[in-house]
Structure 1
C-alpha cells in the first residue's frame, strides 16, 4: 500500500551531519565489473539504493563464471562448443533503468537464455538503440512485445561479428556505458564511434575511470573510444557517497535562512558528474568547504545572478535545480533537458504540472526551457505527485523550508536511490508524518 508523507519545518535554519549512501551510479557499474571479472574485482561500500540491491541480487543469482563469448564463424575451430542451454530464465528488474541497460549488454554475451523485463513504465522506456548495437556485434536479441522496448529475450549464442560499431551519443549515456563495460571481454575488443554530441559525458568518463581502476585500458580520440580485449586485474572498487543524494541537501541549504551541514566522504575529485552541484549552488550563496574528510555547506545571503544553466552533463540535477529556482522566484532558463522525457516518468511534464501548484510555469521553446515566476505564490500547504519517480519526491521535499505543510505522494519511492532520505530529514530538524492512504 502506498502512503504519502507530510513534511514540516518550524524554522528556516538547517544544520547537522548527513552520512549519505554509496553512489548508485558508481555501484551499478562496479557490480557489473565485479561480475565480469570472475571474482578478481571486489566492491566496497555497496549502496543500499533499491536499484543497486536489485542489480546485486540478480548478478549473485547468475553463474559465478564470467559470460562466455564465442568468436565469429571464421574462428569457430579455435573455440570450444557452447554448452547445452538451460531453460529460459525470466529476470524482472522492476523500475531499475540502469540495471535494464547494463544487464542487456551483460546477458547479451552470456551463455544463458534470458528474458529481461521490468515494470510497466520500464516497458515504455526505449532500448532499441542499445539492442541494435549489440545485434551488430553479434548478439541474438528478440523483442517479446513491442519493437524497440522491453521485455527482450537474449539467447546465449553470441558470436562476435565485428569490433566497430556506431551509436548515438545524445540519447542516453547508459547505452554507451553498457557497451564499454563488456568491451574488454569481447574477443576482438570494441571500437565505439559516438555519433552526434555526447550527452552526460561525465557518466561515460566515470565508466572508463572505474574500468581503469580494474586495469582495463582504453583510448579516446575525438568521437572514438577503443578498448582492446584484455583481462581484469585483482582490485577493490571503493564506492564514494552519492553526489546525486547530496544535491537535495544543497537545495535545502539554498532555501534556508541559515545552513550548516556536513556531508562526510565527499571529495572535490569525484568520478561523479553530479559533483558539479557544488559549483552550481555557489550561485545561490552555498559555500562548499572540503575538509575533515567531507564537505561543509554554509549559506550566505547573495542575490542570484546566473540566468542560464546547461544540464546536458548532469540531467539528474535538473529537477532539483529547477525547483530551487522556482521556489526563489528566479526566472532562469535551462538547456540540456532532452533526456528527461524518457526517464522514470516524463520529467518535463511532471515538473510543469507540479510547479503550477505554486503558480510557476516551465515554458518549453525548442531546446530551451524558461521559468515564468510572474504568478508565483507560496501556499500554506501543497500536495506533490511523484509519478513513481524518486527524484520528483526528493526535488520537491526542500519546499518544506518555505511551505508550512508539504505532502508528498508515495513516500517509499525514494528507496530507489536514497532509502534513508526521510530519516535523514528528520535528524536535520524536519518533522515527517506518514499518511496511510
Structure 2
C-alpha cells in the first residue's frame, strides 16, 4: 500500500537554504540514448537519479550486455522476444521505440497500465514509413509494441506533427545519424516544446553530429559520433518548485548550485516567468540565487507552449496568489502521466479555484479562493502534481499529499529537501 506524506510549515515563513538538485532528466535521457547509439564513444557525466533515468539506463545496460554476449540480440535462442518493460517512464517509451527500431533482434516494448493509454502511434508510424518493423500488441496506436530487426531503411523523408509531443521528434533525430540514408524530417504545423528539440540537436552537435534546420525541415546525414563526454546540468524542472516556494514564502533566499543562465533546458524559462512574481535570479558562484522582492503581479497571460512541464507549477502559484491568469500552450497536458488539465481542475477546486477551458486557452477564476485548515491532494500517479501542490504548506496548516513515492520519477529527494528548507514532513 502506498504511503502519503503530511506537510506543514511552522514559524516564520522565511526560507534561507541551499539545495543541490539532481541532473536533468530531459538531458540525461537524451545523453544515455546518444551514448548507446555511439557504441561507447560518448560517455555521460552527472547522471540523474530520477526513476525514469534509472529505468532507461538499466534497460540500455541490459541490452548492451546481451548484445556482447550473443554477438547481437537477434541470435537469442528461438528468436524469443526480449521484453523491455519501462513501467511509467514516458520519455523512455518514446526514445526506446526509435532506438529499438534500428537494432537487430525481436523486442516487446511494454509499460504500466497508464502507459498503455498514452499514444505512441505517430512515432511508430513515422518509423514504419522509413522501414521500421513495428506492430501493436494490443490497441492500435498504443503500447505495448512489438519491434523486429534488423532495420532496412526504405526512405529518408518523414513527416510528423509538431503539436503532439516533441519527444517523437527528438527520438527520430537521435537515431538519424545511425541510419544508412540519414533522415530528412518535416515538421507539420506548429512545433510545441521547441526548446526540447533544440536541446536534442545541441547535444548531438556536442558529439560531432551536424544538422541542417531550414524552416520546418531538419536534415541529418549519416555520421559517426566523436569521442566526447556529455555533462548533464542539474534539473531546471526541479528548480521550478523552489521558485514556487520562494513565491509563496514571506521571505526567500535560495541557492541552487550548478545551474547556469545559458541552459539547454526549456524549463530554464522559469527565471523569466517568476520575475513577474518578484523572484529574481542571480547567476554567480557556480549556481543561481533566488531572492524574493516585493512586487505586484501584473502579468495576466502565460504562454507555456515551450515549457509545458512548468504548467502545474505556474497555475498553482497563480491560483494560490489569487491571480485570475490565462494560460495557453497546454495542448500536450492531457496525454502526460495523467490528464493534467482535469487533475488541476479537480485539485484546485479544493481551495475554491476554477480552471476553465475555452478555445484552447485556460483561465483561472480565483473568486472563491479559500484556505482550509487541512487539504488532501491526489496525485494521479503524476510526480508533478505532488511537487506543484506541496508548497501549499506555506499557506495551509496541513497538506496531505497522496502517493508519497510518486516524486521518485524525477526528484527522489524532494521530501528530504523540503525538510532542509524548514518544512515538516510525516509519512502516514
TM range (shorter): over 0.9
Which of residues 123, 132, 144 is equivalent to 1:130? 123
Please give the alpha-carbon distance, in whole angstroms, between the structure 1 residues aligned to 2:373 and 2:230.
Answer: 47
Structure-2 separation of matches of 1:285 and 1:382: 27
Unmatched tracts of structure 2, length 5 or more: none
Q: Alpha-carbon deviation of 1:301?
A: 1.4
C-alpha deviations, 1:212-245, integer Å up to 9, x for none?
1110000100000000000000000000000000
The residue number in structure 2 matching 1:51 is 52
Q: Secondary structure at the match of 1:167?
A: strand
CA distance in 2, matches of 1:195, 1:13: 48
Is residue 213 of structure 1 aligned with residue 214 of structure 2?
no
State the alpha-carbon separation in 1 of the partners of residues 182 and 267 from structure 2: 30
Alignment of 1:96-107 (within 5 A): 96-107=89-100
For structure 1, list consecutive stretches of 5 or more residues without a partner in the other structure: 68-80
Query: Cα distance, 1:64 vs. partner?
Result: 5.8
Query: Following TM superposition, by how much is the alpha carbon of 1:151 offset from its aligned partner in structure 2, in angstroms?
Result: 0.3
Judged with a 3 Å threshold, the aligned counterparts in structure 2 of structure 1 residues 357 and 108 are, in CA distance, closer, same or farther, namely same
1:293 matched residue in structure 2 = 286
Q: How far is 1:63 from its partner?
A: 2.6
Structure 2 Cα separation of the partners of residues 211 and 39 of structure 1: 15
Matched-pair contact (CA < 8 Å) for 1:22–1:239: yes
Q: Is 1:432 matched up with 2:425?
A: yes
2:391 aligned counterpart, secondary structure: helix
The equivalent of 1:8 in structure 2 is 8
Contact 2:182–2:221 (CA under 8 A) maintained in structure 1 = yes
Residue number in structure 2 paired with 1:417 = 410
Is 1:204 matched up with 2:205? no
Q: Is residue 2:357 matched to residue 1:364? A: yes
Question: Which moves more between the two structures, 55-64 or 184-193?
Answer: 55-64
Q: Distance in 2 between matches of 1:36 and 1:249?
A: 35
Distance 1:109 1:243 in 2: 31
Matched, 1:354 2:347: yes
2:230 is aligned with 1:237: yes
CA distance in structure 2 between the aligned counterparts of 1:328 and 1:337, rounded to whole angstroms: 21
User: Is 2:25 the counterpart of 1:27?
Assistant: no
Shift of 1:366: 1.3
Which residue is 2:155 aligned to? 162
User: Is the 1:37–1:66 contact (alpha carbons within 8 Å) kept by the matching residues of 2?
Assistant: no
SS across alignment from 1:209: helix
| Corresponding residue of 1:77 | none
TM, length-normalised to structure 2: 0.97
| Alignment partners' CA distance in 2, 1:292 and 1:430 | 26
The 1-side partners of 2:374 and 2:65 are apart by 52
Provide the C-alpha distance between the structure 2 equivalents of 1:155 and 1:191, rounded to a whole number of angstroms.
23
Secondary structure of 1:284's match?
coil
Tell me the equivalent position of 2:185.
192
Counterpart Cα distance in 1 of 2:417 and 2:30 = 26
Query: Aligned partners of 2:75 and 2:5: how far apart in 1?
Result: 51
Distance 1:45 1:186 in 2: 29
TM-score (norm 1): 0.95
Q: CA deviation at 1:274?
A: 0.2
Distance 2:66 2:260 in 1: 35
What is aligned with 2:327? 334
CA-atom RMSD in angstroms = 1.4
Residue 72 of structure 1 aligns with which residue?
none
Contact kept, 8 Å, 1:35 with 1:66, in 2: the verdict is: no
Does 1:61 find its partner at 2:62? Answer: yes
- What secondary structure, in the 3-state scheme, does the structure 2 residue paired with 1:59 have? helix
1:66 shift after superposition: 8.8
2:66 touches 2:73 (CA, 8 Å); kept in 1? no
1:263 to 247, 253, 256: 256
Which secondary structure does the structure 2 equivalent of 1:230 belong to? coil
Deviation at 1:329, TM superposition (A): 0.3
Alpha-carbon distance in 2 for matches of 1:424, 1:63: 35
- Out of 165, 171, 175, the position equivalent to 1:172 is 165
